[in-house]
Amino acid sequence: EVQLLESGGGLVQPGGSLRLSCAASGFTFSSYAMSWVRQAPGKGLEWVSGISESGDTTYYADSVKGRFTISRDNSRNTLYLQMSGLRAEDTAVYYCAKEEGDSSGVYYYNWFDPWGQGTLVSVSS
Amino acid sequence: IQLTQSPSSLSASVGDRVTFTCRASQGISSHLAWYQQKPGKAPKLLIYAASTLQSGVPSRFSGSGSGTDFTLTISSLQPEDFATYYCQHLNSYPPYTFGQGTKLEIK
């Protein structure tokens, strides 16, 4: 069974740092791109960051660029999100998600499946 | 690319047929996925490539559309379907955009 388990969330002061982890199991982790998605309390989903299978290509939403760093350790089957310069607006549940894809047709289609259960990050003084 | 979902909320009864709409700010071919999210839970994939039903998802769910206009239809609502539904645009590489969601409530 494919499983993603996030950890590392908690309460942090504005300007502080936190590192989230996402432990993957049940699939060949190094063969899949991964992403982080967050959801502020009572709000919708926001894609935050993504990383290629090997980890050599990373992507960020404008809202976190320069403050967050995504990385992965394929030997440990673990995805990370290093967050610094945290702001109140970064308060959210953070989910990791496995990116699946289908290139059998003319076009390449991709989607997120599954998602982890999420870890809550609260930024407050 | 921005995704606009409508309505933002919808009240319906068990057995009803409901349709959600997702509109893209520019053409995205069929690069769209739909997710269901229940309170306190992670999103669950329903549909990918605009109309392909994910394995294990009940056949009462269906997706259609291409270009800028997409729909998710539930043919006969069941009690477990009351949730919030999100569309997402994914292309070969990020950024990946979500719609703002449609909350489906019991009438």
Sign of the torsion angle spanned by Cα atoms B1, B57, A111, A90: positive
Each residue's pLDDT tens digit, A94-116: 999 999 998 888 888 999 999 99
Whether B82 has a pLDDT exceeding 90, the answer reads yes
Strands B102-106 and B9-12: parallel
Smallest CA–CA distance from B33 into chain A, residue: A111
Q: Which letter does DSSP use for residue A88 in this model? A: G
pLDDT of residue B92: 78
Each residue's pLDDT tens digit, A11-23: 999 999 999 999 9
Smallest CA–CA distance from A36 into chain B, residue: B96
pLDDT of residue B61: 98
Each residue's pLDDT tens digit, A51-84: 999 999 999 999 999 999 999 999 999 999 999 9
Q: Is A53 on the interface with B (CB under 8 A)?
A: no
Smallest CA–CA distance from A4 into chain B, residue: B42
Percent of chain B with pLDDT over 70: 100
Residue B98 to residue A117, Cβ atoms within 8 A:
no
Chain B residues whose CB is inside 8 A of the A113 CB are 45, 48, 54
Phi, psi of A90 (to 5 degrees): -85, -5
